Amino acid sequence: MIRKYLAAGIAALMLATAPLAAFDTQASAAFVLDEKTGTVLLSKNADVPLPPASMSKLMTLYIAFEAVRDGRLSLDEALPVSAHANSFGGSTLFLRTGERVSVEELLRGIIVLSGNDACVVIAEALSPDGTEAGFAAMMTQRAQQMGMTNSTFKNSSGWPAEGHVMSVRDLTLLAQRIIEDFPDFYQMFAETEFLFDEAESSNRFNRNPLLTLGIGADGLKTGHTQEAGYGLVGSAKQGDRRVIFTITGLDAASTRAREAESIVNWAFRQFAEQTVTRAGDVIAQADVWMGARETVGLMADQDLTILLPNTPGREVTAEVAYTGPIEAPIAEGRQLAELIIRPEDLPEHRIPLYAAHAVPASGFVARMISVSQVLLGRMQAEDAM
């Protein structure tokens, strides 16, 4: 038995595309994901644990969303503000020790206003020991369970602390989980303004620079500290496509705004979805050994849509790999092969292929003839040596 490769007969893959230059980002680390297809469009220092600043508030929010969903918190429940929560500077809701604030206001205060004090109130309410440190340990454990292996939390807000780190891949994964797991809560991330306290009206605007540009942006979270630089976890949706990305380590808020807008425009303009095969369409034939038929059709069991560069100029290669010839009998729907698609400058795709129809074993006489032919071929080969 040998490994065989066949050219895939998929018309959509014969599209031509021009050489695609990788996006030249100024960010020290960046990760860009096409949500629907799971295609990574850009990866720069993606798995390096870095100070995330306020972008790590997304983890506090995710755990709070879970608590509301599971009934451990309710949106109209009023939580107390501790002296510890009131001790934080930076971006706050100007909460006062002893007052009580509803969970919904706290969530909006974190999402829109990046309130450090609001994070601590949520953290102390959900912490297994009532402390922010206990909540941070829970954040780290939950992140590991979710596959965020380069994230460690020391607090709930992203306040600078040694060892408080996340990678840009982890931040993008976290954003994706928020969008997909909590679509109702996700609507809050598009709010451009939230006035919590009329006496402190200067802090009422969302710092996300993309929300008012008309490019489909609807989240998620900015961050800035001296150590981390300026960063953004962003997402935008145009038509049926959504792009999620994280950038960090930029030198100014204006640079962050330009870089984020450029990434969104690049991701939507330079790539397009292509349906390369439909479920049940036979795209290749594999050789059969000792069967009632000499070949068996190969098909995918679902429609296959992938992301490809969007400009003319070069071919995308596709091939079918299988170990064959495949001995009969072959049941319909049995996995037999793999479709391998290799777009230049993008990750390859490997899709299982299945038997499009059953192939019974050949009759006794036909099988004996096949065996005889193989033996005869071997004898002739030996004589020729």
Which pLDDT score, from 0 to 100, does residue 16 have? 39
Query: Residue 124 CB: number of other CB atoms within 10 A?
Result: 21
**Using CA atoms, how far apart are residues 34 and 356, in angstroms rounded to an integer?**
31
Mean pLDDT of the chain: 88
Do 329 and 241 belong together in one domain? no
Q: In Å, what is the CA distance from 286 to each residue of 143, 337, 373?
A: 44, 8, 20
Higher pLDDT, residue 103 or 376: 103
Lowest mean pLDDT among 13-17, 227-231, 326-330: 13-17
Which pLDDT score, from 0 to 100, does residue 20 have? 47
Do 109 and 178 belong together in one domain? yes
* Residue 60 tokens, joined: 């506090």
Q: What percent of the chain has pLDDT over 90?
A: 68
Whether 115 shows a pLDDT value over 50: the answer reads yes
* pLDDT tens digits for range 162-177: 999 999 999 999 999 9
Do 6 and 35 belong together in one domain? no
**Using CA atoms, how far apart are residues 197 and 209, in angstroms rounded to an integer?**
23
Do 188 and 318 belong together in one domain? no
Which pLDDT score, from 0 to 100, does residue 22 have? 67
Residue 368 lies in a domain: yes
Which pLDDT score, from 0 to 100, does residue 381 have? 54
Q: Which H/E stretch holds residue 333? A: none
Mean pLDDT within 141-146 = 98
Which pLDDT score, from 0 to 100, does residue 19 have? 42
Residue 4 class from Cβ within 10 Å (0-12 exposed, 13-18 middle, 19+ buried)? middle
Nearest residue to 318 via CA among 284, 282, 271, 359: 284
Residue 102 lies in a domain: yes
Q: Where is the domain boundary, 250, 267, 294?
A: 250
Q: Where is the domain boundary, 185, 217, 250?
A: 250
Do 193 and 338 belong together in one domain? no
Mean pLDDT within 121-142 = 98
Do 6 and 115 belong together in one domain? no
Higher pLDDT, residue 320 or 242: 242
pLDDT band at 319 (very low <50, low <70, confident <90, very high): confident
Bridge-based pairing of strands 317-324 and 241-250 is unpaired
Q: Which residue has the tokens 């996300």?
A: 208
* pLDDT tens digits for range 128-138: 999 999 999 99
227 contacts: CB under 8 Å, gap ≥ 6: 51, 53, 160
Higher pLDDT, residue 120 or 351: 120
Mean pLDDT within 347-372 = 74
Total H helices, total E strands in the chain: 8, 16
pLDDT band at 348 (very low <50, low <70, confident <90, very high): confident
Mean pLDDT within 184-193 = 97
Mean pLDDT within 326-347 = 87
Residue 200 lies in a domain: yes
Which pLDDT score, from 0 to 100, does residue 12 have? 41
Do 188 and 108 belong together in one domain? yes
Higher pLDDT, residue 273 or 244: 244
**Residues spanned by the domain of 332:** 2-15+275-381
Which pLDDT score, from 0 to 100, does residue 4 have? 53
Bridge-based pairing of strands 282-289 and 326-327 is parallel
Residue 257 lies in a domain: no
pLDDT band at 331 (very low <50, low <70, confident <90, very high): very high
**Using CA atoms, how far apart are residues 140 and 161, in angstroms rounded to an integer?**
14
Which pLDDT score, from 0 to 100, does residue 309 have? 79
Alpha helices in the chain (DSSP H): 57-70, 103-111, 116-126, 132-145, 168-181, 183-186, 253-269, 364-383
* pLDDT tens digits for range 22-56: 688 999 999 999 999 899 999 999 999 999 999 99
pLDDT band at 191 (very low <50, low <70, confident <90, very high): very high
Whether 335 shows a pLDDT value over 90: the answer reads yes
Beta bridge partners of 324: 2
Residue 20 lies in a domain: no
**Using CA atoms, how far apart are residues 99 and 338, in angstroms rounded to an integer?**
61
Whether 274 shows a pLDDT value over 90: the answer reads no
Looking at the structure of the chain, the number of domains it has is 2
Residue 339 lies in a domain: yes
Do 291 and 237 belong together in one domain? no
Do 324 and 294 belong together in one domain? yes
The CATH number given to whatever domain includes residue 282 is 2.60.410.10
pLDDT band at 378 (very low <50, low <70, confident <90, very high): low
Mean pLDDT within 59-66 = 98
Which pLDDT score, from 0 to 100, does residue 384 have? 56
* pLDDT tens digits for range 69-84: 999 999 999 999 999 9
Q: Where is the domain boundary, 189, 217, 250?
A: 250
Whether 14 shows a pLDDT value over 60: the answer reads no
Residue 21 lies in a domain: no
Do 183 and 210 belong together in one domain? yes
Residue 112 lies in a domain: yes
Which pLDDT score, from 0 to 100, does residue 156 have? 98
Amino acid at 171: L
Q: What are phi and psi of 225, to 5 degrees?
A: -140, 165
Q: In Å, what is the CA distance from 44 to each residue of 41, 56, 96, 244, 245?
A: 10, 19, 42, 15, 12
Whether 200 shows a pLDDT value over 60: the answer reads yes
The CATH number given to whatever domain includes residue 184 is 3.40.710.10
First to last CA, the chain: 22
Radius of gyration of the chain (CA): 28
**Using CA atoms, how far apart are residues 59 and 158, in angstroms rounded to an integer?**
10
**Using CA atoms, how far apart are residues 193 and 207, in angstroms rounded to an integer?**
9
* pLDDT tens digits for range 96-114: 999 999 999 999 999 999 9
Higher pLDDT, residue 180 or 280: 180
Do 196 and 302 belong together in one domain? no
* Residue 121 tokens, joined: 């109130």
Do 237 and 301 belong together in one domain? no
